[in-house]
């Protein structure tokens, strides 16, 4: 494998961040940062320099100790001390280091006292005035933290996760509907297309009293700045850095406006071109033929006039949906209500918050027929991962619990770590007693593409491998996906009849839409799971379903749309392969 300089530099910077949060010696911290900078700006790869027998300690800012660390990274793909440090300091805290005015010391205090781990959680704590009450903090610091978050979002142009945008939308909706003046309120744009992240929130409204609605909205307490203010529209920036656009549209234009502002832009252009060929003008106000308006009140109108059936918003990315619509080949997308169970969940036995009973009760309330309990395996010591004895005990517990259940089944599972060499973290003799396994990579995320891919392919060969969980390990806005050849992975999954997960956790949404589509085209079966760590998390399933829809998946592509018996048959047949 070839380690890139950027990788080495990033590991050193991470070291520095973690040491800073830990409150280590500033000289040591600076040494890592300087070294990172040196390596980043080298013109040749450190791995190449090493191959040529060069002495890295001759580089500026790099002594014997750092040189040997670089060598370790190049040889093994990881840095021992960094791995150790990650066990001590929550890795997520690093994202907070990028907020101006928030050093390691304060991050540590905020984390220890409020459990804050992400920028979003920090923002929430500040908005709820929890930060200013901490000893050594005050209102001024709290405000500067909020400013810092805003600045960070502006600088990095960070797109907000769909889940966070959804929460904002819910608050706006509630606020605007407090007066009974709104006829329709719908969020268009990437939010409606259910992209995993959104840049801004585009809201369309129909009402008889536009001025009144706009002036009410301007009183929304989270507004930081009003950017545009007109009689039927306004654009504001919220404290969170999120931009919101509100447009009041005429009832007769509602459908045309909804289509236009839902986008995507590329999809719109495709539609408009089809219209032009038919002598139609299609814009956000309506549909026109020879200067007179022929339609525009309903969104379906836009598709109808160009001879197409309705195209679901999640498909409107100009990825062949117009072509498919023309040829009657649109997929019948999977829907939330078709999901009959969840196949990746955790309990308080490892790092979840709820007991098996509580998870089961919630699953039943969601109308499910089954839930798989898949706690972590022993390798993840921080989560109190299960060893073979622990798992045997859990199997007994679940068997007993099932005896008392009617019309619902708890499936026995485990989220078993895929070790670096591609073996699984628990013995086959215990795995075979389970209904299914959810297999995932949690360590050595920085292997080369070839090694990472082969590690996963090898794991899939294990006869008790059922589902590949969160295949790329990415965390939206926090951690890039691992280097892995998804096409090879999916081909292998097809060959061995393995299932691949869409992890519905709002930070993960892994596989992404493009990989979902690839899976479908290769004929690989998918499972939409939440990876719930609490009863509430089971509701995240809607995000996974949205991602599946963006990947053109139909119910038959998704194994947990099957009823219990059907699913059990499938799980058995996977093992027989
Ligand atoms: P975002 O905000 O980056 O997450 O993605 P969108 O798709 O929400 O993009 P946005 O907010 O810039 O615009 C909303 C929709 O408005 C977009 O999806 C399509 C439509 N739109 C915006 N600009 C144009 C344009 O120049 N031509 C056409 N045909 N449509 C546009
Ligand atoms: Ca938008
Ligand atoms: Zn998990």
Question: In a 3-state reduction of DSSP, which class is residue 162?
Answer: helix
* Ligand 1 neighbour 228 (Cβ under 6 A): no
Q: Binning pLDDT at 50, 70 and 90, where does residue 59 land?
A: confident
HSE-CB for 567 with a 13 A CA cutoff:
27
Question: Is the domain of 422 the same as that of 539?
Answer: yes
* Ligand 1 neighbour 264 (Cβ under 6 A): yes
Query: What residue owns the CA closest to ligand 1's atom 28?
Result: 265
Rounded to the nearest angstrom, the distance between the alpha carbon of 202 and the centre of ligand 2 is 5
205 pLDDT exceeds 80? yes
39 pLDDT exceeds 90? no
Question: Is the domain of 267 the same as that of 222?
Answer: no
Question: Is the domain of 378 the same as that of 449?
Answer: yes
Question: Is the domain of 321 the same as that of 260?
Answer: yes
Question: ∠ at Cα 78 (89, 117), nearest 5°?
Answer: 25
Q: What is the pTM of this model?
A: 0.77
Ligand nearest to the CA of 417: 3
* Ligand 1 neighbour 104 (Cβ under 6 A): no
Residue 264 CA: nearest ligand 1 atom is 18
* Ligand 1 neighbour 198 (Cβ under 6 A): yes
Average pLDDT in the 308-323 region? 97
Instruction: Let me know how long the chain is.
Output: 577
**Cα 151–chain centre separation:** 23
Q: Report whether 19 contacts 29 (CB < 8 A).
A: yes
Question: In a 3-state reduction of DSSP, which class is residue 189?
Answer: helix
Counting ligand 1 atoms within 8 A of each CB, the residue from 159, 261, 275 with the most, and so the one to mutate, is: 261
Q: Quote the pLDDT of residue 91.
A: 76
Average pLDDT, the chain: 93
Rounded to the nearest angstrom, the distance between the alpha carbon of 253 and the centre of ligand 1 is 17
Q: Quote the pLDDT of residue 80.
A: 92
Average pLDDT in the 274-299 region? 96
* Ligand 1 neighbour 261 (Cβ under 6 A): yes
- Give alpha helix (H) positions in 197-308: 210-217, 254-262, 265-277, 299-305
Interval 512-535: pLDDT, tens: 999 999 999 999 999 999 999 999
* Ligand 1 neighbour 243 (Cβ under 6 A): no
* Ligand 1 neighbour 202 (Cβ under 6 A): yes
Question: Is the domain of 210 the same as that of 345?
Answer: no
Question: Is the domain of 146 the same as that of 175?
Answer: no
d(CA 240, CA 249): 27
Q: Report whether 198 contacts 190 (CB < 8 A).
A: yes
Residue 193 CA: nearest ligand 1 atom is 7
Within-domain flag for 498:
yes
Counting ligand 1 atoms within 8 A of each CB, the residue from 265, 273, 313 with the most, and so the one to mutate, is: 265
Contact residues for 98 (Cβ-Cβ < 8 A; gap 6+): 152, 156
Question: Is the domain of 292 the same as that of 373?
Answer: no
255 pLDDT exceeds 60? yes
420's tokens: 């670096």
Q: Quote the pLDDT of residue 416.
A: 97
Among the candidates 110, 131, 154, a domain finishes at: 154
314's tokens: 């999640």
Ramachandran angles phi, psi of 139, nearest 5° = -60, -35
Query: What residue owns the CA closest to ligand 1's atom 25?
Result: 265
CATH value at residue 194: 3.30.460.10
d(CA 84, CA 81): 5
In order of 381, 515, 542, the CA distances from 511 in angstroms are 26, 6, 15
490 pLDDT exceeds 90? yes
* Ligand 1 neighbour 486 (Cβ under 6 A): no
From edge to edge, which strands make up the β-sheet containing 292-295?
A: 280-283, 286-289, 292-295
Least Cα distance to 497 among 479, 474, 519 occurs for 519
Q: Report whether 280 contacts 287 (CB < 8 A).
A: yes
**Cα 99–chain centre separation:** 22
107's tokens: 């991050």
Q: Report whether 428 contacts 463 (CB < 8 A).
A: yes
* Residue with the two structure tokens 């499938």: 570
d(CA 410, CA 575): 19
Q: Quote the pLDDT of residue 23.
A: 87
In order of 83, 420, 446, the CA distances from 443 in angstroms are 9, 8, 8
Contact residues for 51 (Cβ-Cβ < 8 A; gap 6+): none
365's tokens: 């309330």
329's tokens: 């080949």
Lowest-pLDDT choice from 9-18, 280-289, 293-302, 530-539:
9-18
> Could you tell me what percent of the chain has a pLDDT over 70?
99
* Ligand 1 neighbour 266 (Cβ under 6 A): no
Within-domain flag for 467:
yes
Question: Is the domain of 304 the same as that of 377?
Answer: no
Helix (H) or strand (E) holding 197: strand 197-198
Q: Which residue has the higher pLDDT, 75 or 6?
A: 75
Question: Is the domain of 429 the same as that of 569?
Answer: yes
* Ligand 1 neighbour 206 (Cβ under 6 A): no
- Per the DSSP assignment, residues forming a β-bridge with 341 are 370
Lowest-pLDDT choice from 50-64, 148-162, 396-410:
148-162
Q: Quote the pLDDT of residue 194.
A: 98
Average pLDDT in the 491-509 region? 97
Within-domain flag for 331:
no
Residue 159 CA: nearest ligand 1 atom is 4
| Residues of the domain holding 291 | 253-326
* DSSP 8-state assignment for residue 376: E
d(CA 466, CA 460): 8
Q: Quote the pLDDT of residue 157.
A: 63
CATH value at residue 298: 3.30.210.10
Q: Quote the pLDDT of residue 155.
A: 66
In order of 360, 371, 395, 453, the CA distances from 411 in angstroms are 11, 6, 9, 29
Q: Are strands 370-376 and 409-417 parallel, antiparallel or unpaired?
A: parallel
HSE-CB for 215 with a 13 A CA cutoff:
4
Looking at the structure of the chain, the number of domains it has is: 4
From edge to edge, which strands make up the β-sheet containing 370-376?
A: 341-342, 370-376, 409-417, 436-440, 467-468, 499-503, 526-529
Q: Quote the pLDDT of residue 1.
A: 55
HSE-CB for 116 with a 13 A CA cutoff:
25
CATH value at residue 42: 1.10.150.110
Helices 388-403 and 356-365: angle between axes, nearest 10 degrees: 50
Q: How many CB atoms lie within 10 A of CB 130?
A: 17
Question: Is the domain of 295 the same as that of 430?
Answer: no
Q: Binning pLDDT at 50, 70 and 90, where does residue 495 land?
A: very high
Number of H-type helices and E-type strands within the chain: 23, 17
Average pLDDT in the 26-53 region? 86
Q: Binning pLDDT at 50, 70 and 90, where does residue 5 land?
A: confident
Q: Which residue has the higher pLDDT, 61 or 438?
A: 438
Q: Binning pLDDT at 50, 70 and 90, where does residue 156 land?
A: low
Within-domain flag for 242:
yes
Among the candidates 154, 188, 223, a domain finishes at: 154
Query: What residue owns the CA closest to ligand 1's atom 18?
Result: 263
Average pLDDT in the 11-35 region? 90
Q: Quote the pLDDT of residue 443.
A: 92
Interval 323-369: pLDDT, tens: 999 999 999 999 999 999 999 999 999 989 999 999 999 999 999 99
Average pLDDT in the 485-512 region? 96
Within-domain flag for 127:
yes
CATH value at residue 517: 3.20.20.140
Q: Quote the pLDDT of residue 38.
A: 85
* Ligand 1 neighbour 200 (Cβ under 6 A): yes
Q: Report whether 243 contacts 201 (CB < 8 A).
A: yes
Q: Quote the pLDDT of residue 217.
A: 96
d(CA 356, CA 410): 9
Interval 90-142: pLDDT, tens: 877 887 888 877 888 899 899 989 989 888 889 889 988 999 999 989 899 99
d(CA 77, CA 84): 15
Q: Report whether 101 contacts 148 (CB < 8 A).
A: yes
257 pLDDT exceeds 60? yes
Gyration radius from the chain CA atoms? 26
Query: What residue owns the CA closest to ligand 1's atom 16?
Result: 261
Contact residues for 240 (Cβ-Cβ < 8 A; gap 6+): 123, 149, 150, 153, 160, 164, 168, 222
Within-domain flag for 293:
yes
Ion ligand 3: residues, CB < 5 A: 415, 531
289 pLDDT exceeds 70? yes
Question: Is the domain of 291 the same as that of 322?
Answer: yes
Helices 104-114 and 5-22: angle between axes, nearest 10 degrees: 70
- Per the DSSP assignment, residues forming a β-bridge with 506 are none
Rounded to the nearest angstrom, the distance between the alpha carbon of 374 and the centre of ligand 3 is 7
* Ligand 1 neighbour 235 (Cβ under 6 A): no
Least Cα distance to 214 among 261, 247, 170, 183 occurs for 247
Rounded to the nearest angstrom, the distance between the alpha carbon of 260 and the centre of ligand 1 is 8
Query: What residue owns the CA closest to ligand 1's atom 26?
Result: 265
d(CA 266, CA 319): 9
Question: Is the domain of 421 the same as that of 566?
Answer: yes
Among the candidates 287, 305, 326, a domain finishes at: 326
Rounded to the nearest angstrom, the distance between the alpha carbon of 198 and the centre of ligand 2 is 6
């Amino acid at each position: 494998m070839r380690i890139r300089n950027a990788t080495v530099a990033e590991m050193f910077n991470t070291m520095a961040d973690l040491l800073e949060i830990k409150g280590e010696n500033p000289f040591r911290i600076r040494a890592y940062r300087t070294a990172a900078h040196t390596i980043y700006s080298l013109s040749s790869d450190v791995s190449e320099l090493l191959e040529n027998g060069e002495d890295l300690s001759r580089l500026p800012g790099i002594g014997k100790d750092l040189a040997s660390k670089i060598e370790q990274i190049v040889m093994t793909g990881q840095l021992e001390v960094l791995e150790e440090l990650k066990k001590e300091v929550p890795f997520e805290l690093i994202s907070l280091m990028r907020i101006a005015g928030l050093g390691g010391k304060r991050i540590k205090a905020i984390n220890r006292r409020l459990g804050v781990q992400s920028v979003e959680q920090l923002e929430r704590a500040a908005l709820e005035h929890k930060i200013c009450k901490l000893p050594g903090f005050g209102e001024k610091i709290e405000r500067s933290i909020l400013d810092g978050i805003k600045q960070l979002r502006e600088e990095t142009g960070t797109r907000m996760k769909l889940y966070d945008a959804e929460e904002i939308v819910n608050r706006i909706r509630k606020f605007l509907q407090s007066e009974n003046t709104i006829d329709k309120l719908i969020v268009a744009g990437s939010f409606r297309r259910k992209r995993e992240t959104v840049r801004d929130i585009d809201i369309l409204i129909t009402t008889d009293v536009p001025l009144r609605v706009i002036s009410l909205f301007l009183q929304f307490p989270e507004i930081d700045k009003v950017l545009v203010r007109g009689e039927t529209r306004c654009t504001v920036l919220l404290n969170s850095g999120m931009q919101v656009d509100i447009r009041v549209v005429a009832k007769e234009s509602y459908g045309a406006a909804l289509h236009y502002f839902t986008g995507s832009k590329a999809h719109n252009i495709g539609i408009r071109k089809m219209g032009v060929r038919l002598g139609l003008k299609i814009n956000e106000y309506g549909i026109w033929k020879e200067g007179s308006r022929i339609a525009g009140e309903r969104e379906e109108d836009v598709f109808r006039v160009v001879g197409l059936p309705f195209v679901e918003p999640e498909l409107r990315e100009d990825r062949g949906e117009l072509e498919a619509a023309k040829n009657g080949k649109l997929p019948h997308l999977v829907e939330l209500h078709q999901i009959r169970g969840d196949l990746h969940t955790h309990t308080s036995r490892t790092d979840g918050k709820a007991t098996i009973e509580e998870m089961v009760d919630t699953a039943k309330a969601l109308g499910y027929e089954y839930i798989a309990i898949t706690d972590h395996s022993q390798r993840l010591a921080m989560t109190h991962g299960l060893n073979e004895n622990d798992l045997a005990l859990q199997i007994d517990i679940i068997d007993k619990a099932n005896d008392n259940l009617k019309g619902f089944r708890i499936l026995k599972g485990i989220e078993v770590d895929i070790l670096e060499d591609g073996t699984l973290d628990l013995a086959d003799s215990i795995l075979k007693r389970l209904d299914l396994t959810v297999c995932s990579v949690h360590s050595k995320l920085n292997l080369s593409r070839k090694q990472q891919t082969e590690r996963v392919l090898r794991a899939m060969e294990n006869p008790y491998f059922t589902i590949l969980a969160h295949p790329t390990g990415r965390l939206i806005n926090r951690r890039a996906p691992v280097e892995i050849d998804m096409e090879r992975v999916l081909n292998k999954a097809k060959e061995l009849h393995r299932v691949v997960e869409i992890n519905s956790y709002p930070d993960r949404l892994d596989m992404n839409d493009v990989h979902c589509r690839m899976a479908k085209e290769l004929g690989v079966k998918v499972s939409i799971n939440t990876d719930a760590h609490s009863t509430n998390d089971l509701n995240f399933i809607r995000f996974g379903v949205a991602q599946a829809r963006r990947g053109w998946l139909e119910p038959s592509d998704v194994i947990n749309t099957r009823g219990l018996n059907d699913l059990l048959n499938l799980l058995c047949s996977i093992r027989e392969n």
